[in-house]
Amino acid sequence: MTGYSCARRIPLGSEAELLVWCARTGMTQDLTARIRRRVQELVDWPVFHELAEYHGVEPLLYASLSRVAFDLVPADSLTRLRQKAQVGNMLNRSLAQELIKLCDEFAAQGVPVIPIKGATLAAVAYGDLGLRDFTDLDLLIPETVAGEAQAVLARLGYEPRAVVAGQSDAHHDEGPHQVFVKRRTLCRVDLQWMMSHPHFAFRLDRQEFWERRVEVVIDNRTVPGLAPEDLLIVLCVHGSKHAWEHLKWVCDVAELLRTHRTLDWNSVITRSSAWGCKRLVMMGLSIAHRLLDAPLPDVVVRRIQREVEIEVLSQRMPATLLVDGHEGVWEEQSAALYFSLKDSWWARWRFGLLLCRLQSPVAVTPPTWFQWRSSLCRFARLVHPVHRVMKRFLSSGIRGAINRWVPHTT
Protein backbone atom coordinates (compact mmCIF):
# COMPACT_ATOMS: atom_id res chain seq x y z
CA MET A 1 0.00 0.00 0.00
CA THR A 2 1.09 3.56 -0.61
CA GLY A 3 1.39 5.74 2.46
CA TYR A 4 -0.75 8.80 3.04
CA SER A 5 1.39 10.48 5.67
CA CYS A 6 2.81 13.02 3.21
CA ALA A 7 -0.37 13.60 1.20
CA ARG A 8 -0.62 17.01 -0.39
CA ARG A 9 -3.67 19.14 -0.97
CA ILE A 10 -4.87 18.95 -4.57
CA PRO A 11 -5.74 22.47 -5.82
CA LEU A 12 -8.99 23.59 -7.38
CA GLY A 13 -9.10 25.69 -10.53
CA SER A 14 -9.61 29.44 -10.09
CA GLU A 15 -13.19 29.46 -11.45
CA ALA A 16 -13.92 26.23 -9.57
CA GLU A 17 -12.79 27.82 -6.32
CA LEU A 18 -15.12 30.79 -6.87
CA LEU A 19 -17.91 28.32 -7.64
CA VAL A 20 -17.34 26.51 -4.34
CA TRP A 21 -17.26 29.76 -2.36
CA CYS A 22 -20.62 30.82 -3.80
CA ALA A 23 -22.46 27.47 -3.76
CA ARG A 24 -23.86 27.81 -0.24
CA THR A 25 -26.48 29.66 1.76
CA GLY A 26 -24.22 30.57 4.69
CA MET A 27 -21.87 33.47 3.95
CA THR A 28 -19.30 34.78 6.46
CA GLN A 29 -17.61 38.18 6.28
CA ASP A 30 -14.31 36.55 5.39
CA LEU A 31 -15.87 34.55 2.57
CA THR A 32 -17.67 37.63 1.27
CA ALA A 33 -14.36 39.49 1.13
CA ARG A 34 -12.70 36.60 -0.69
CA ILE A 35 -15.48 36.45 -3.27
CA ARG A 36 -15.33 40.18 -3.92
CA ARG A 37 -11.55 40.08 -4.35
CA ARG A 38 -11.74 37.12 -6.73
CA VAL A 39 -14.50 38.69 -8.85
CA GLN A 40 -12.30 41.75 -9.35
CA GLU A 41 -9.52 39.54 -10.69
CA LEU A 42 -9.45 37.92 -14.11
CA VAL A 43 -12.34 35.42 -14.08
CA ASP A 44 -13.10 33.33 -17.15
CA TRP A 45 -16.86 33.82 -16.96
CA PRO A 46 -17.75 31.38 -19.79
CA VAL A 47 -15.84 28.65 -17.91
CA PHE A 48 -17.54 29.68 -14.67
CA HIS A 49 -21.00 29.39 -16.27
CA GLU A 50 -20.15 26.05 -17.83
CA LEU A 51 -19.09 24.70 -14.45
CA ALA A 52 -22.16 26.17 -12.77
CA GLU A 53 -24.52 24.48 -15.22
CA TYR A 54 -22.70 21.15 -15.12
CA HIS A 55 -22.69 21.04 -11.32
CA GLY A 56 -26.32 22.15 -10.97
CA VAL A 57 -25.66 25.08 -8.62
CA GLU A 58 -26.79 28.11 -10.65
CA PRO A 59 -29.57 29.12 -8.20
CA LEU A 60 -27.12 29.16 -5.30
CA LEU A 61 -24.57 31.14 -7.32
CA TYR A 62 -27.11 33.78 -8.28
CA ALA A 63 -28.34 34.10 -4.69
CA SER A 64 -24.77 34.53 -3.39
CA LEU A 65 -23.35 36.80 -6.09
CA SER A 66 -26.39 39.05 -6.24
CA ARG A 67 -26.14 39.48 -2.49
CA VAL A 68 -22.40 40.03 -1.97
CA ALA A 69 -20.95 41.11 -5.33
CA PHE A 70 -23.75 42.45 -7.54
CA ASP A 71 -21.75 45.62 -8.20
CA LEU A 72 -18.69 43.68 -9.42
CA VAL A 73 -20.03 40.77 -11.49
CA PRO A 74 -20.43 41.55 -15.21
CA ALA A 75 -24.05 42.45 -15.90
CA ASP A 76 -24.52 39.82 -18.59
CA SER A 77 -23.22 37.08 -16.27
CA LEU A 78 -25.52 38.09 -13.44
CA THR A 79 -28.44 38.31 -15.87
CA ARG A 80 -27.70 34.82 -17.17
CA LEU A 81 -27.65 33.40 -13.66
CA ARG A 82 -30.85 35.25 -12.74
CA GLN A 83 -32.70 33.91 -15.77
CA LYS A 84 -31.59 30.36 -15.09
CA ALA A 85 -32.63 30.70 -11.45
CA GLN A 86 -36.05 32.10 -12.39
CA VAL A 87 -36.77 29.33 -14.89
CA GLY A 88 -35.65 26.70 -12.40
CA ASN A 89 -37.80 28.22 -9.66
CA MET A 90 -40.92 28.06 -11.83
CA LEU A 91 -40.26 24.43 -12.75
CA ASN A 92 -39.56 23.51 -9.13
CA ARG A 93 -42.81 25.03 -7.91
CA SER A 94 -44.77 23.25 -10.62
CA LEU A 95 -43.19 19.93 -9.68
CA ALA A 96 -43.81 20.62 -5.99
CA GLN A 97 -47.52 21.08 -6.65
CA GLU A 98 -47.56 17.83 -8.60
CA LEU A 99 -45.79 16.10 -5.73
CA ILE A 100 -48.51 17.21 -3.31
CA LYS A 101 -51.18 15.75 -5.63
CA LEU A 102 -49.25 12.51 -5.93
CA CYS A 103 -48.83 12.14 -2.17
CA ASP A 104 -52.54 12.83 -1.60
CA GLU A 105 -53.51 10.16 -4.15
CA PHE A 106 -51.05 7.61 -2.79
CA ALA A 107 -52.42 8.20 0.72
CA ALA A 108 -56.02 7.90 -0.51
CA GLN A 109 -55.21 4.54 -2.11
CA GLY A 110 -53.31 3.30 0.95
CA VAL A 111 -50.00 3.00 -0.87
CA PRO A 112 -47.01 3.99 1.32
CA VAL A 113 -44.65 6.52 -0.23
CA ILE A 114 -41.85 8.84 0.90
CA PRO A 115 -40.57 11.51 -1.50
CA ILE A 116 -36.77 11.70 -1.42
CA LYS A 117 -34.55 14.44 -2.82
CA GLY A 118 -36.28 16.91 -5.14
CA ALA A 119 -38.85 19.20 -3.57
CA THR A 120 -38.65 17.76 -0.06
CA LEU A 121 -34.86 18.07 -0.04
CA ALA A 122 -35.10 21.68 -1.22
CA ALA A 123 -37.57 22.44 1.58
CA VAL A 124 -35.75 20.56 4.34
CA ALA A 125 -32.12 21.42 3.54
CA TYR A 126 -32.31 24.76 1.70
CA GLY A 127 -35.51 26.23 3.09
CA ASP A 128 -36.38 27.44 -0.42
CA LEU A 129 -37.75 25.48 -3.39
CA GLY A 130 -35.87 27.75 -5.76
CA LEU A 131 -32.36 27.06 -4.46
CA ARG A 132 -32.04 23.40 -5.47
CA ASP A 133 -32.38 22.30 -9.10
CA PHE A 134 -34.41 19.15 -9.70
CA THR A 135 -36.19 17.81 -12.76
CA ASP A 136 -38.08 14.77 -11.51
CA LEU A 137 -39.89 13.40 -8.48
CA ASP A 138 -38.19 10.50 -6.69
CA LEU A 139 -40.69 8.42 -4.73
CA LEU A 140 -39.51 5.77 -2.29
CA ILE A 141 -41.90 2.82 -2.07
CA PRO A 142 -41.66 -0.70 -0.66
CA GLU A 143 -40.82 -3.07 -3.50
CA THR A 144 -43.83 -5.17 -2.55
CA VAL A 145 -46.27 -2.41 -3.56
CA ALA A 146 -44.73 -1.58 -6.93
CA GLY A 147 -47.85 -2.78 -8.74
CA GLU A 148 -50.18 -0.66 -6.64
CA ALA A 149 -47.90 2.37 -7.10
CA GLN A 150 -47.96 1.93 -10.86
CA ALA A 151 -51.77 1.82 -10.75
CA VAL A 152 -51.87 5.10 -8.82
CA LEU A 153 -49.64 6.78 -11.39
CA ALA A 154 -51.70 5.39 -14.27
CA ARG A 155 -54.83 6.83 -12.66
CA LEU A 156 -53.15 10.25 -12.67
CA GLY A 157 -52.18 10.04 -16.35
CA TYR A 158 -48.63 8.71 -16.07
CA GLU A 159 -47.17 6.11 -18.42
CA PRO A 160 -43.87 4.22 -18.41
CA ARG A 161 -41.15 6.34 -19.96
CA ALA A 162 -40.43 3.68 -22.60
CA VAL A 163 -44.03 3.99 -23.83
CA VAL A 164 -43.98 7.79 -23.94
CA ALA A 165 -40.56 7.95 -25.57
CA GLY A 166 -41.36 5.12 -27.97
CA GLN A 167 -38.19 3.28 -27.02
CA SER A 168 -36.88 1.02 -24.30
CA ASP A 169 -34.75 2.16 -21.40
CA ALA A 170 -32.59 -0.79 -20.48
CA HIS A 171 -31.32 0.74 -17.25
CA HIS A 172 -34.76 1.37 -15.82
CA ASP A 173 -36.58 -1.55 -17.44
CA GLU A 174 -34.27 -4.10 -15.87
CA GLY A 175 -33.14 -2.25 -12.79
CA PRO A 176 -34.81 -1.52 -9.46
CA HIS A 177 -36.25 1.77 -10.73
CA GLN A 178 -39.39 2.50 -12.70
CA VAL A 179 -39.70 5.81 -14.51
CA PHE A 180 -43.06 7.29 -15.48
CA VAL A 181 -43.86 10.41 -17.48
CA LYS A 182 -47.04 12.43 -17.69
CA ARG A 183 -47.76 13.13 -21.34
CA ARG A 184 -47.47 16.73 -22.53
CA THR A 185 -46.01 17.84 -19.22
CA LEU A 186 -42.55 18.14 -17.65
CA CYS A 187 -43.55 15.78 -14.82
CA ARG A 188 -41.43 12.66 -14.42
CA VAL A 189 -41.71 10.22 -11.51
CA ASP A 190 -39.04 7.72 -10.52
CA LEU A 191 -40.29 4.92 -8.27
CA GLN A 192 -37.40 3.64 -6.17
CA TRP A 193 -36.73 0.93 -3.63
CA MET A 194 -33.04 0.36 -4.35
CA MET A 195 -30.06 2.62 -5.05
CA SER A 196 -27.92 0.80 -7.59
CA HIS A 197 -24.84 1.10 -9.78
CA PRO A 198 -22.49 -1.48 -11.31
CA HIS A 199 -21.22 -3.63 -8.38
CA PHE A 200 -23.19 -1.49 -5.92
CA ALA A 201 -26.61 -1.68 -4.29
CA PHE A 202 -28.16 -0.03 -1.25
CA ARG A 203 -31.69 -0.85 -0.18
CA LEU A 204 -33.98 2.12 0.31
CA ASP A 205 -37.19 0.33 1.34
CA ARG A 206 -36.04 -0.17 4.93
CA GLN A 207 -38.69 -0.53 7.60
CA GLU A 208 -36.80 1.99 9.74
CA PHE A 209 -37.32 4.71 7.14
CA TRP A 210 -41.08 4.30 7.39
CA GLU A 211 -41.07 4.15 11.17
CA ARG A 212 -39.06 7.37 11.48
CA ARG A 213 -40.56 9.38 8.61
CA VAL A 214 -41.43 13.00 9.28
CA GLU A 215 -43.75 15.62 7.82
CA VAL A 216 -42.27 18.16 5.40
CA VAL A 217 -44.09 21.42 4.74
CA ILE A 218 -44.31 22.53 1.10
CA ASP A 219 -46.51 25.52 0.23
CA ASN A 220 -48.45 25.15 3.48
CA ARG A 221 -49.13 21.48 2.81
CA THR A 222 -47.43 18.48 4.36
CA VAL A 223 -45.92 15.48 2.61
CA PRO A 224 -43.91 12.59 4.07
CA GLY A 225 -40.13 12.87 4.26
CA LEU A 226 -37.15 10.97 5.57
CA ALA A 227 -35.95 11.73 9.09
CA PRO A 228 -32.92 14.08 8.87
CA GLU A 229 -30.48 11.40 10.07
CA ASP A 230 -31.75 8.93 7.47
CA LEU A 231 -31.74 11.59 4.77
CA LEU A 232 -28.12 12.43 5.56
CA ILE A 233 -27.12 8.79 5.14
CA VAL A 234 -29.00 8.47 1.85
CA LEU A 235 -27.42 11.67 0.48
CA CYS A 236 -23.91 10.52 1.40
CA VAL A 237 -24.41 7.06 -0.07
CA HIS A 238 -25.85 8.55 -3.27
CA GLY A 239 -22.99 11.00 -3.70
CA SER A 240 -20.35 8.35 -3.05
CA LYS A 241 -22.08 6.04 -5.51
CA HIS A 242 -21.36 8.60 -8.23
CA ALA A 243 -17.90 9.61 -6.93
CA TRP A 244 -19.41 13.02 -6.05
CA GLU A 245 -19.35 13.99 -9.72
CA HIS A 246 -21.65 17.00 -9.24
CA LEU A 247 -21.09 19.71 -6.63
CA LYS A 248 -24.85 19.97 -6.01
CA TRP A 249 -24.68 16.63 -4.18
CA VAL A 250 -22.05 18.04 -1.83
CA CYS A 251 -24.24 21.13 -1.35
CA ASP A 252 -27.15 18.90 -0.34
CA VAL A 253 -25.13 17.42 2.50
CA ALA A 254 -23.70 20.78 3.57
CA GLU A 255 -27.07 22.54 3.59
CA LEU A 256 -28.75 19.73 5.50
CA LEU A 257 -26.01 20.05 8.12
CA ARG A 258 -26.50 23.84 8.26
CA THR A 259 -30.24 23.59 8.82
CA HIS A 260 -30.11 20.66 11.27
CA ARG A 261 -27.52 21.50 13.92
CA THR A 262 -28.95 19.01 16.44
CA LEU A 263 -28.72 15.76 14.51
CA ASP A 264 -28.51 12.57 16.56
CA TRP A 265 -24.95 11.68 15.56
CA ASN A 266 -24.92 8.46 17.56
CA SER A 267 -27.85 7.31 15.45
CA VAL A 268 -26.13 8.36 12.21
CA ILE A 269 -23.01 6.35 13.07
CA THR A 270 -24.92 3.37 14.44
CA ARG A 271 -27.31 3.12 11.49
CA SER A 272 -24.67 3.62 8.82
CA SER A 273 -22.48 0.97 10.49
CA ALA A 274 -25.39 -1.49 10.63
CA TRP A 275 -26.15 -0.88 6.95
CA GLY A 276 -22.52 -1.28 5.87
CA CYS A 277 -22.11 2.29 4.62
CA LYS A 278 -20.31 4.09 7.46
CA ARG A 279 -17.26 5.00 5.36
CA LEU A 280 -19.49 6.17 2.49
CA VAL A 281 -21.13 8.53 4.97
CA MET A 282 -17.76 9.66 6.34
CA MET A 283 -16.69 10.46 2.78
CA GLY A 284 -19.72 12.69 2.22
CA LEU A 285 -19.17 14.48 5.51
CA SER A 286 -15.48 14.95 4.77
CA ILE A 287 -16.09 16.52 1.35
CA ALA A 288 -18.90 18.79 2.60
CA HIS A 289 -16.79 19.96 5.55
CA ARG A 290 -13.65 20.55 3.46
CA LEU A 291 -15.23 22.19 0.41
CA LEU A 292 -18.25 23.99 1.82
CA ASP A 293 -17.40 24.47 5.51
CA ALA A 294 -20.33 22.28 6.54
CA PRO A 295 -20.70 22.44 10.34
CA LEU A 296 -19.81 19.23 12.16
CA PRO A 297 -19.39 18.46 15.87
CA ASP A 298 -15.77 18.13 16.99
CA VAL A 299 -16.24 14.45 17.75
CA VAL A 300 -17.31 13.79 14.15
CA VAL A 301 -14.44 15.88 12.75
CA ARG A 302 -11.96 13.87 14.83
CA ARG A 303 -13.50 10.61 13.63
CA ILE A 304 -13.10 11.74 10.00
CA GLN A 305 -9.51 12.83 10.61
CA ARG A 306 -8.68 9.35 11.84
CA GLU A 307 -9.88 8.00 8.47
CA VAL A 308 -6.78 9.15 6.60
CA GLU A 309 -7.69 7.37 3.38
CA ILE A 310 -11.05 9.14 3.31
CA GLU A 311 -9.44 12.51 4.00
CA VAL A 312 -7.08 12.04 1.06
CA LEU A 313 -9.67 10.67 -1.38
CA SER A 314 -12.09 13.48 -0.55
CA GLN A 315 -9.61 15.96 -2.05
CA ARG A 316 -9.92 14.21 -5.41
CA MET A 317 -13.67 14.85 -5.78
CA PRO A 318 -15.42 16.40 -7.64
CA ALA A 319 -12.78 15.63 -10.27
CA THR A 320 -14.03 18.30 -12.70
CA LEU A 321 -13.16 21.07 -10.23
CA LEU A 322 -9.48 20.17 -9.95
CA VAL A 323 -6.72 22.02 -11.77
CA ASP A 324 -5.49 18.64 -13.00
CA GLY A 325 -8.43 16.35 -13.69
CA HIS A 326 -6.10 13.36 -13.95
CA GLU A 327 -5.69 13.57 -10.17
CA GLY A 328 -9.41 13.18 -9.61
CA VAL A 329 -11.61 10.19 -8.82
CA TRP A 330 -14.05 9.80 -11.71
CA GLU A 331 -17.33 7.90 -11.70
CA GLU A 332 -15.99 5.37 -14.21
CA GLN A 333 -13.42 4.47 -11.53
CA SER A 334 -16.15 3.90 -8.97
CA ALA A 335 -15.33 0.21 -8.43
CA ALA A 336 -11.96 1.24 -6.98
CA LEU A 337 -13.71 3.83 -4.82
CA TYR A 338 -16.24 1.29 -3.52
CA PHE A 339 -13.38 -1.07 -2.68
CA SER A 340 -11.58 1.70 -0.79
CA LEU A 341 -14.68 2.66 1.18
CA LYS A 342 -15.72 -0.76 2.42
CA ASP A 343 -16.33 -0.75 6.16
CA SER A 344 -14.26 -3.84 6.96
CA TRP A 345 -11.35 -5.92 5.71
CA TRP A 346 -13.74 -8.82 5.11
CA ALA A 347 -16.19 -6.76 3.03
CA ARG A 348 -13.34 -5.19 1.06
CA TRP A 349 -11.71 -8.43 -0.01
CA ARG A 350 -14.98 -10.21 -0.64
CA PHE A 351 -15.71 -7.38 -3.06
CA GLY A 352 -12.17 -7.70 -4.40
CA LEU A 353 -12.85 -11.37 -5.17
CA LEU A 354 -15.86 -10.31 -7.22
CA LEU A 355 -13.79 -7.75 -9.15
CA CYS A 356 -11.12 -10.34 -9.88
CA ARG A 357 -13.63 -12.97 -10.95
CA LEU A 358 -15.25 -10.48 -13.35
CA GLN A 359 -11.81 -9.33 -14.54
CA SER A 360 -12.74 -5.76 -13.72
CA PRO A 361 -10.37 -3.08 -15.08
CA VAL A 362 -9.65 -2.00 -11.51
CA ALA A 363 -7.99 -5.39 -10.91
CA VAL A 364 -5.97 -5.15 -14.13
CA THR A 365 -5.14 -1.48 -14.67
CA PRO A 366 -6.14 0.29 -11.46
CA PRO A 367 -6.08 4.10 -11.23
CA THR A 368 -2.93 5.67 -9.86
CA TRP A 369 -4.71 7.07 -6.80
CA PHE A 370 -5.93 3.59 -5.74
CA GLN A 371 -4.17 2.74 -2.49
CA TRP A 372 -4.78 -1.00 -2.89
CA ARG A 373 -3.68 -1.35 -6.52
CA SER A 374 -0.65 -3.57 -5.89
CA SER A 375 -2.49 -5.82 -3.44
CA LEU A 376 -5.52 -6.24 -5.69
CA CYS A 377 -3.40 -6.95 -8.79
CA ARG A 378 -1.50 -9.67 -6.89
CA PHE A 379 -4.79 -11.06 -5.62
CA ALA A 380 -6.12 -11.12 -9.21
CA ARG A 381 -3.08 -13.11 -10.38
CA LEU A 382 -3.93 -15.73 -7.75
CA VAL A 383 -7.67 -15.77 -8.42
CA HIS A 384 -7.68 -16.04 -12.22
CA PRO A 385 -6.03 -19.51 -12.43
CA VAL A 386 -8.30 -20.81 -9.66
CA HIS A 387 -11.33 -19.42 -11.45
CA ARG A 388 -10.33 -21.16 -14.70
CA VAL A 389 -9.95 -24.48 -12.87
CA MET A 390 -13.34 -24.04 -11.23
CA LYS A 391 -15.02 -23.38 -14.55
CA ARG A 392 -13.43 -26.51 -15.98
CA PHE A 393 -13.94 -29.03 -13.21
CA LEU A 394 -16.76 -27.90 -10.90
CA SER A 395 -20.40 -28.57 -11.64
CA SER A 396 -22.69 -25.68 -12.51
CA GLY A 397 -24.53 -26.15 -9.21
CA ILE A 398 -21.37 -25.73 -7.13
CA ARG A 399 -20.27 -22.75 -9.23
CA GLY A 400 -23.70 -21.21 -8.73
CA ALA A 401 -23.44 -21.59 -4.98
CA ILE A 402 -20.03 -19.89 -5.00
CA ASN A 403 -21.35 -17.10 -7.21
CA ARG A 404 -24.21 -16.51 -4.79
CA TRP A 405 -21.71 -16.23 -1.94
CA VAL A 406 -19.68 -13.66 -3.91
CA PRO A 407 -22.36 -11.01 -4.48
CA HIS A 408 -22.69 -9.09 -7.71
CA THR A 409 -23.60 -5.99 -5.72
CA THR A 410 -22.48 -4.67 -2.38
What's 211's domain CATH number? 3.30.460.40
pLDDT at 134: 92
User: Where among 197, 225, 253 does a domain terminate?
Assistant: 225
User: Domains in the chain: how many in total?
Assistant: 2
Q: Which domain holds residue 214?
A: 91-225
The pTM for the full model equals: 0.90
Whole-angstrom CA distances from 128 to 61, 92, 119, 123, 350 are 14, 10, 9, 6, 43
**Distance of alpha carbon 82 from alpha carbon 66, whole angstroms:** 9
Q: Tens digits of per-residue pLDDT, 113-144?
A: 999 999 999 999 999 999 999 999 999 999 99
H and E: helices and strands count for the chain: 21, 9
Residue 256 has pLDDT above 50, yes or no: yes
Report if residue 319 sits inside a domain. no
User: Where among 208, 225, 242 does a domain terminate?
Assistant: 225
Report if residue 349 sits inside a domain. yes
Q: Tens digits of per-residue pLDDT, 325-363?
A: 999 999 999 999 999 999 999 999 999 998 988 888 998
Report if residue 112 sits inside a domain. yes
Report if residue 289 sits inside a domain. no
Alpha helices in 23-131 (DSSP H): 29-40, 45-55, 58-68, 75-108, 118-121
pLDDT at 174: 39
Report if residue 190 sits inside a domain. yes
Whether the Cβ atoms of residue 141 and residue 156 lie closer than 8 Å to each other = no
pLDDT at 120: 97
**Higher pLDDT among residues 174 and 205, named by residue:** 205
pLDDT at 184: 84
Residue 73 has pLDDT above 70, yes or no: yes
Report if residue 393 sits inside a domain. yes
Residue 358 burial (10 A CB sphere; 0-12, 13-18, 19+): middle
Residue 395 has pLDDT above 60, yes or no: no
User: Where among 205, 225, 245 does a domain terminate?
Assistant: 225
pLDDT at 161: 81
Residue 175 has pLDDT above 90, yes or no: no
What whole-number percentage of the chain has pLDDT above 70? 88
Report if residue 70 sits inside a domain. no
Neighbours of 389 (CB within 10 A): 10
Report if residue 362 sits inside a domain. yes
Q: Tens digits of per-residue pLDDT, 138-166?
A: 999 999 999 999 999 999 999 998 755 54
Taking residues 261-273, what's their average pLDDT? Answer: 96
